[in-house]
Amino acid sequence: MSLVLQENLSLKPYNTFGVDVKARLFAEAHDDVQVREALALAADRSLPLLVIGGGSNLLLTRDVEALVLRMASRGIRLLADDGEKVVLEAEAGEPWHPLVLWTLEQGLGGLENLSLIPGTVGAAPMQNIGAYGVELKDVFAGLTALDRQTGELREFGLEDCQFAYRDSLFKREAGRWLILRVRFNLSRAAQLHLDYGPVRQRLRDEGIETPTPKDVSRAVCAIRSEKLPDPMELGNAGSFFKNPLVSGEQAERLKAAHPDLVAYPQGDGLVKLAAGWLIERAGWKGFRDGDAGVHRLQALVLVNYGAATGSQLHALAQRIRADIVAKFGVELEMEPNLI
């Protein structure tokens, strides 16, 4: 067996919240063979298999009685290139932001709005990651996943993935599909998405009238750096709550009571509310209870000031959720996966 196992390993370096819990067993998979070895080993030891990438979408509340498998496969390949359109494939263990930067250096546009999102390629379809007007589904060309129930490989197209707002088939069927590699539709001709106001304003402030994908990426990185703390300096998992979808009628009632409500019509009679606005208006921005807190600059981000446990962070999240229901009648949903 080529898989290297470690027992009772601290997962603190492997989750961006920096929560110190132990994994019963831990291994890294660098290729498909090691993935299959991990599946067989977990079954042989009668242990669950928990697959992680960059650990940027996890809230660990206890020691993990499982084989924790970190996807560490690397590789980037151009599968098709007609001089204008390109299909690129990346292994699941590729870190996301370096991949974005690599595509930009190759003159390929499409991922620039998704710059500086933490995590790995394999985790991106799980959440249908999105930022500044672009979601993964907008550039998605397909993926290869292993069916953990049958051991067979399956190719997924766009419709197969059932992408929705921060959601997908892979998230709803957690524990079945193990994503091995993902493909993207990119372009050598700039097709910029500048609908998000702050990005456009940042470019204008810098005197950039005809931006390139690299310009958009730099603007996005600057905005994210100002709004979101660096997990290397302050433990966090980025946006902790999804922006909730409510009916148009409920949005109108809230707007009447709160004229400055931040809301975005979505069609089909639904309106997306800014969860950060709700949390800030409820008074939670900058709140701290021991080492568990809400970031002082961005109410949507829960932070670990050093020694907070996952249970303490979860308890704080539950308090915030209950308060938002009480004050606004709106249910907030966590983005990170709770373990």
* Centroid of chain to Cα 324: 23
- Which CATH number belongs to the domain containing residue 138 in this structure? 3.30.465.10
Q: Read off the pLDDT of each residue in 123-130 and give the average, rounded to a whole number.
A: 93
- Answer yes or no: is pLDDT of 157 > 90: yes
pLDDT of residue 143: 98
Within a domain: residue 80?
Answer: yes
Name the active-site residue from 70, 166, 218, 224: 166
Name the active-site residue from 28, 91, 135, 335: 335
Distance CA 56, CA 117 (A): 9
Contact of 181 with 92, CB cutoff 8 Å:
yes
Q: What does the pLDDT look like over 274-322, one tens digit per residue?
A: 999 999 999 999 999 999 999 999 999 999 999 999 999 999 999 999 9
- Concerning whether 331 is annotated as a catalytic residue, the answer is no
* Centroid of chain to Cα 141: 19
The reported pTM is 0.89
- Concerning whether 239 is annotated as a catalytic residue, the answer is yes
- Concerning whether 335 is annotated as a catalytic residue, the answer is yes
- Which single residue is written with the structure tokens 């993207």? 184
Domain boundary among 46, 71, 96: 71
- Answer yes or no: is pLDDT of 44 > 80: yes
Q: Is 186 helix (H, G, I), strand (E, B) or coil?
A: strand
Distance CA 323, CA 173 (A): 30
Domain boundary among 204, 227, 250: 227
Q: Are residues 139 and 50 in the same domain?
A: no
Q: Are residues 209 and 105 in the same domain?
A: yes
Q: Are residues 103 and 215 in the same domain?
A: yes
Domain boundary among 182, 203, 227: 227
- Answer yes or no: is pLDDT of 195 > 90: no
Cα angle 251-256-262, degrees, rounded to a multiple of 5: 50
The single-letter DSSP state of residue 5 is P
The tally of domains found in the chain comes to 3
Q: Are residues 89 and 185 in the same domain?
A: yes
Q: Are residues 322 and 243 in the same domain?
A: yes
Distance CA 57, CA 52 (A): 9
Which range of residues forms the domain containing residue 274? 235-338
pLDDT of residue 45: 94
Q: Are residues 91 and 64 in the same domain?
A: no
Within a domain: residue 1?
Answer: no
At 56, the pLDDT band (50, 70, 90 cuts) reads confident
Q: What does the pLDDT look like over 74-105, one tens digit per residue?
A: 999 999 999 999 999 999 999 999 999 999 99
More confident residue, 180 or 232: 180
Name the active-site residue from 28, 56, 239, 281: 239
Q: Are residues 101 and 151 in the same domain?
A: yes
Q: Are residues 82 and 128 in the same domain?
A: yes
Q: Are residues 209 and 96 in the same domain?
A: yes
At 232, the pLDDT band (50, 70, 90 cuts) reads confident
- Which CATH number belongs to the domain containing residue 62 in this structure? 3.30.43.10
Q: Are residues 93 and 42 in the same domain?
A: no
